[in-house]
């Protein structure tokens, strides 16, 4: 693509983009076509489009156009460094788009991203936008010009702001279209191990083997003997016994950090036609939306600190958090100090990076596909916690098949 901008009026470009977005094209195709249309009125030399998981507001995929791939640097800046125009800031701000020049008062060198990412690549002016629709952030866009080129204008910022919801819905439609057409086998599929009442192995899915080896940092057999596996199994038996006496209860879940530094989630359940006393332990890779409460608990946060942390991660201010929880902003500040002390984070961005991005970055670099909810296809989805419902759904499967999800 060239960096030259055309002479189309903003209204004409928006109308053309709207027609394109309604076609529910795959995202890569939409991004390339949308960039060509944007260049009819906005000049830029390179662009980077992203899909964001609306559950965690984290990047799950990116599409580069005429730019070098330095995504780890971008990711570090976005989630671990204080800087201007972060995507979550734009998504919750009065406008969904802004330039670096505006945010730095005309001194872009104040930005770590300008120093560490743009300048080494010979780039200068930057315009960013977040794609927001119905309260959820589905994607984002960065367009840049070469160093020494004119800054983006207010008219161009307004255009990107107005296109935000249009782009969000286009990403959402594209995800659905891709999911319907996909024939990709899910990578890192969840695994299941069924144990008898004494802890012996009854069944083991092939998909569980690499996860169990990762869990132990050694062999599959060492993973089977892992205390975490048997602790979840024992807690599951207790929960099922309690359920028979008093009705539905929550089945146990536990996050486990592996020797390699990744996070897995183990949770209990039942398989069909199992002998009396048998329980199943499902092993899955951690997913930010579901595992955040578990990881916060693993860091030793109190229930109230976990509530404050989750609201903070979602972008709430101290005042908003105080109003939501019915406590004072001073108390929120005290909780935040404890949260940062326990997790080792110093800012909300660092807290997000600590909890989430160690799992996301390898997936992005390996190009793990995402589903129609913009989450990685290998991520666990919400599951029912009523053991009776879990058992009933399990009975619908063939007894020789391991389930593809956790219930």
Kindly indicate the confidence band of residue 400, based on its pLDDT and cuts at 50, 70 and 90.
very low
Across 136-151, average pLDDT: 95
pLDDT in tens, 190-232: 788 999 988 899 999 888 999 999 999 999 999 999 988 998 8
More reliable by pLDDT, 399 or 133: 133
Q: What average pLDDT score do residues 148-153 get?
A: 97
Three-state SS across 93-112?
CCCCEEEHHHHCCCCHHHCH
**pLDDT at 401 exceeding the cut of 70:** no
Separation between Cα atoms, residue 48 and residue 144, nearest integer Å: 9
Residue 382 has pLDDT above 50, yes or no: no
Which range (66-80, 126-140, 176-190) has the least confidence?
176-190
Residue 248: per-residue pLDDT: 54
Check: CB of residue 292 under 8 Å from CB of residue 356: yes
* Domains observed in the chain: 10-181 (3.30.450.40), 191-287+380-395 (3.30.450), 290-344 (1.10.10)
Whether residue 405 has pLDDT greater than 50: no
Q: For 279-317, write each residue's pLDDT tens digit.
A: 889 888 776 555 666 667 778 889 899 889 888 876 678
Q: Is the pTM of this model over 0.85?
A: no
The tens digit of pLDDT for each residue in 170-186 reads: 998 887 667 555 554 44
Neighbour-count burial of 224, counting CB atoms closer than 10 A to its CB (0-12 exposed, 13-18 middle, 19+ buried): buried
Hey, how many other C-beta atoms are within 10 angstroms of the C-beta on 154?
A: 10
SS (H, E, C) the chain: CCCCCCCCCHHHHHHHHHHHHCCCCCHHHHHHHHHHHHCCCCCCCEEEEEEEECCCCEEEEEEEECCCCCHHHHHHHHHHCCCCCCHHHHHHCCCCEEEHHHHCCCCHHHCHHHHHHHHHHCEEEEEEEEEEECCEEEEEEEEEEECCCCCCCHHHHHHHHHCHHHHHHHHHHHHHHHHHHCCCCCCCCCEEEEECCCCCEEEECCCHHHHHHHHHCCCHHHHHCCHHHHHHHHHHHHHHHHHHHHCCCCCCEEEEECCCCCEEEEEEECCCCCCCCCEEEEEEECCHHHHHHHHHHHCCCCHHHHHHHHHHHCCCCHHHHHHHHCCCHHHHHHHHHHHHHHHCCCCHHHHHHHHHHHHHHHHHHCCCCECCCCCECCCCCCCCCCHHHHHHHHHCCCCCCCCCCCC
Average pLDDT, whole number, for the chain? 81
Whether residue 15 is predicted with pLDDT greater than 60 in this model: the reply is yes
> How would residue 37 be classed by pLDDT, with cut points 50, 70 and 90?
very high
């Amino acid at each position: 693509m060239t960096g030259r901008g055309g002479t189309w009026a903003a209204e004409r470009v928006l109308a053309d983009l709207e027609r394109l977005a309604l076609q529910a094209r795959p995202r890569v195709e939409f991004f390339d076509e949308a960039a060509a249309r944007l260049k009819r009125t906005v000049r830029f030399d390179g662009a980077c489009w992203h899909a964001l998981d609306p559950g965690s507001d984290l990047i799950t995929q990116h599409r580069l156009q005429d730019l070098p791939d330095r995504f780890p640097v971008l990711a570090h800046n976005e989630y671990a460094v204080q800087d201007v125009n972060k995507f979550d800031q734009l998504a919750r701000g009065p406008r969904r788009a802004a330039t670096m020049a505006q945010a730095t008062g005309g001194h872009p060198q104040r930005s770590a991203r300008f120093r560490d990412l743009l300048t080494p690549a010979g780039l200068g002016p930057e315009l960013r936008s977040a794609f927001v629709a119905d309260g959820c952030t589905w994607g984002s866009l960065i367009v840049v010009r070469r160093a020494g080129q004119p800054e983006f204008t207010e008219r161009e910022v307004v255009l990107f702001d107005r296109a935000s919801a249009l782009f969000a819905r286009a990403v959402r439609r594209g995800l659905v279209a891709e999911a319907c057409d996909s024939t990709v086998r899910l990578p890192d599929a969840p695994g299941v191990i069924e144990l008898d009442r004494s802890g012996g192995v009854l069944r083991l899915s092939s998909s569980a083997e690499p996860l169990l080896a990762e869990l132990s940092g050694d062999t599959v057999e060492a993973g089977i003997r892992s205390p975490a596996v048997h602790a979840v199994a024992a807690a599951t038996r207790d929960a099922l016994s309690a359920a028979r006496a008093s009705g539905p209860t929550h089945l146990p879940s536990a996050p486990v950090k592996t020797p390699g530094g990744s996070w897995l989630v183990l949770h209990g359940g039942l398989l069909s036609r199992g002998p009396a006393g048998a329980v199943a332990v499902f092993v899955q890779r951690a997913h930010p939306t579901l595992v955040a409460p578990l990881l916060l608990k693993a860091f030793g946060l109190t229930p109230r600190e976990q509530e404050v942390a989750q609201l903070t991660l979602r972008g709430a201010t101290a005042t908003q958090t105080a109003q939501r929880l019915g406590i004072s902003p001073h108390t929120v500040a005290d909780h935040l100090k404890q949260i940062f002390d326990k997790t080792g984070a110093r800012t909300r961005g660092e807290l997000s990076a600590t909890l989430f991005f160690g799992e996301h970055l390898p997936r992005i670099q390996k190009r793990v596909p995402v589903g129609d909810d913009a989450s990685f296809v290998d991520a666990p989805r919400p599951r029912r916690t009523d053991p009776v419902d879990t058992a009933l759904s399990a009975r619908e499967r063939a007894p020789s098949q391991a389930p593809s999800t956790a219930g």
